[in-house]
A and B are shown apart, each in its own frame.
Chain A
Amino acid sequence: MTELVLFADAYLVDALPEIWFGAVMFALAMYIILDGFDFGIGMLYATRNNEHEKETFLTAFGPVWDANEVWVVAFGTMLLAAFPRVYSRVLADHYLLAISFVLALLFRGLGPEMREQRDDGRWKRYWDYSFVGGSFLAPLLFGTLAGRWIFDAPTLSLPALLTGVGLVTVSVATGAAFLTAKTRPRLASDLRMYGIIATLAYLIGVIALLMTVVVTDAGGTAEIVLSLPVGVIVLLSAVTGGGGSVLALRGKYRAWLVSSLGLPALLSLLVALLLYPTIYPPTGLTVREAVVSPLALNLVTILGFPALLLVLWYFKFLYGVFSGPIAGERYKN
């Protein structure tokens, strides 16, 4: 017991609460990057009438979506482990949004899996609705919830809704890039237009959001938004989005995929900047006030960080197994 008691007096490193803030934001980034393109696949699925193309989309989605979705659980539970009050307030204060979001995820997840169970036109059509509807609503609701949290704004307000729309558009952009890299050229040229339009819509949306925030000073964030780091992030997003669109037009799809995944990554960085150090703006709670005691945080660090590295390795393995374009046939044996 004594060796455990030694960990009880102080954080392993002085900045451990800040590191954990970063870790929680990292999980959020992984979620909106990885499940983001899943949502994008789901929304772009609505543009397909041809059964073969639908199957191609589902083949790209099938092996990875479940693992991608787990990042939202990782995000939620890491938030609970390190900042229990923030976890409690975010979910309890946005009750209907949070419940609606998990229900949207439910319909999104069931759609493709249940569709495959029966070769019946009507059955497949209903699960297609479930897949598309869930894929659209989940990022919209998650983004709106995040907007309410970050900007202390009501659901039906520009800051909250624009955050929701931002997440929807960036998901379409990454989804299109992911699908393009995974499919044959004929489908690719069609998909990249959706991707480019979504990228532009996203960039316009982010700028509109930040301008709204500056004007209304929602959640007292105007000052941070006008700071240099946020300016750099916006600039980088514009360069990444614009550069990615050019790469897409030139048919460099792998490079486009990499650059498009940069957009949600930068978005997460923006969220992190806005939430530090006031992690829950509605009550002004800071990271240092919300964090758990040294022993609890040290414990989740010692057990959790190796686990996190292992998870990243699993993902490398998973995407390695299912890498490369889908050659017409399904992976299914």
Chain B
Amino acid sequence: MFSTVLPDILIQGWALQLSPELASRAQFGWTISVHIIFASLSVGLAPFIVYFTWKDVRTDDERFTRLRSFWVKVFAAGFVMGTVTGIPMSFQFGTNFPQFAEVAGELIGGPLAFEAKMAFFLEAVFLGVLLFGQKLVSDRTYILSSVLVGVGAWLSAFWILIVNAWMQTPQGFEMITRNGMEVAKLTDPLAAFFTPRMSWMYVHMVNASVISVALLVAGVSAYIVWKKRDAAAWNTALKLAVIILLVTAPLQAVHGDAYGRHVADTQPQKFAAMEAHYETGTADLHLLAFPMSIDALTDPKAENLFTVSLPGVGSFLATGGDFDAEVLGLNEYEENPPVAMVFWSFRFMVGLGFLFIGLALWGGYLIYNGRLSESNRFLKTMVAASPLGYAALLTGWYVTEIGRQPWVIQGELRTSEAVSSTLTGTEATLTLVGFVIIYIGLILVALHVLRWLVEDELHELGVRASDDDRWYGPVPKVSNDD
């Protein structure tokens, strides 16, 4: 497997036209990468919103009024971004991969329709109440609305992951011919919905969303605390985020380890790509890998990498205890996924996962010493780490989705067979370029909105905009009476 997707895009892109397949894959990959940031923001922020709303309404504590008001604004902006980027997702199965939609229709149509009806509507309707209705409904209904928005976000992930898990470990169907085409007929709904992958994926994804948001909350709080040490609400938020990280970050590592074994059992080819394991035999675990050349970066193999490896531990992990177990190598397969992207994405994700544990322990130590808001180094690090949860989440998905190639439905339907036969390269390239430009704009807008929300908050806390790096002490409040 010499080529990777990215060079192909650059080479074909030079001629200003990609093949329909490549453009469709790049477009789906790009649009879902942007969408998933906002979707997981909803999932991860939901428990925070419920907690802040509940505390705010029940205790009238000013800290929670601030936090609720701020994070509901972030949630709302994120939800709008999630909606407008999510609708293209629900259509792209048809526009770009119609054969997939037709072959898998009986299996994926139900869960996708349930997602719209049971989850998306719930979230959209009660977010309207949460944003605009505080004065119009009772306290109890208001708190309930925040809970229902959260339930909507988590249910949404549930139904979407049922679809994705089925694509990884498909079952509960048989292939039949309908209208002259081989399609999957649903035979066992429970098996099809609760595939072997489903529970792994759900726990890993929901936890990843919470970790990402905890890092975001910690980063924003650290920034504000750095500017104004005695901002009570933000000290609370920072502490809360660190405590949540202390639970979720180690959980993700332990869970991820077991998840890896499950992948080795059910998708051995993906597992081999994650470790760039070519020759069938015992597999080493590459704890650290450094490319020694450009070749090693685009085509990683044990011999061209400088690795810190544990001999046989790959086998041990894959089987849960046997150092000498045989792990199938990539050479056994006719066609492999882009190994480099899977191999490096996996390393990136795992490395970040360990970094998060380290950050959580550091923060926990500072809480223990009562110095959480005093350590400038910690505050600055948390600000820098605030987007890294999403980096880990995205690379984790690249392992899952790129690692599944060349299949769109593992072992059943190839991605190349799923792509629209009526789509031309020109059309596909045109829309890909459109999505790239528009979504880059969207991300920039989202970042600006977050910046303004933080600036407004600082302004309300009395920090002057010109105070760049340091807080110079209390700013006198100016009122009209003066």
Residues of A in contact with B (beta carbons under 8 Å apart): 1, 4, 8, 62-64, 66-67, 69-70, 72-74, 76-78, 80-82, 84-85, 87-93, 95-96, 98-99, 102-103, 105-106, 109-110, 113-114, 117-118, 285, 289-290, 292-293, 295-296, 299-300, 303-304, 307-308, 310-311, 314-315, 317-318, 321-322, 330-333
Contacts and interface: CB of A to CB of B under 8 A. Distances in A.
Nearest to A315: B125
Nearest to A291: B178
Contacts of A114: 77, 80, 445, 449
Interface in B309-359: none
Interface in B80-138: 80-81, 83-88, 90-91, 93-96, 98-99, 101-102, 104-110, 112-118, 120-122, 124-129, 131-137
B113 A304 contact: yes
Interface residues of B, number: 75
A285 B179 contact: yes
Contact of A80 (B83, B109, B117): B109
Contact of B135 (A117, A296, A333): A333
Contacts of B3: none
A296 B185 contact: yes
Interface string B205-246: 000000000000000000000000000000000000000000
For the residues of A in contact with B, the DSSP-based class is: helix
A90 B95 CA distance: 8
B428 to A, nearest CB: 8
B114 A92 contact: no
A294 B302 CA distance: 51
B381 interface: no
14 contacts: A70-B121, A73-B90, A76-B90, A77-B109, A77-B116, A84-B105, A85-B179, A88-B102, A292-B106, A300-B110, A303-B114, A331-B136, A332-B132, A333-B135
Interface stretch (B186-194, B254-262, B263-271, B279-287): B186-194
Interface stretch (B47-55, B292-300, B419-427, B468-476): B419-427
B452 interface: yes
B110 to A, nearest CB: 5
Contact of B420 (A92, A105, A330): A92
Contact of A77 (B83, B90, B427): B90
A139 B185 CA distance: 35
A16 to B, nearest CB: 14
A4 B189 CA distance: 8
Contact of A73 (B116, B129, B189, B427): B116
Given A103-B438, A293-B106, A110 B420 contact: no
B383 to A, nearest CB: 22
A304 B122 CA distance: 14
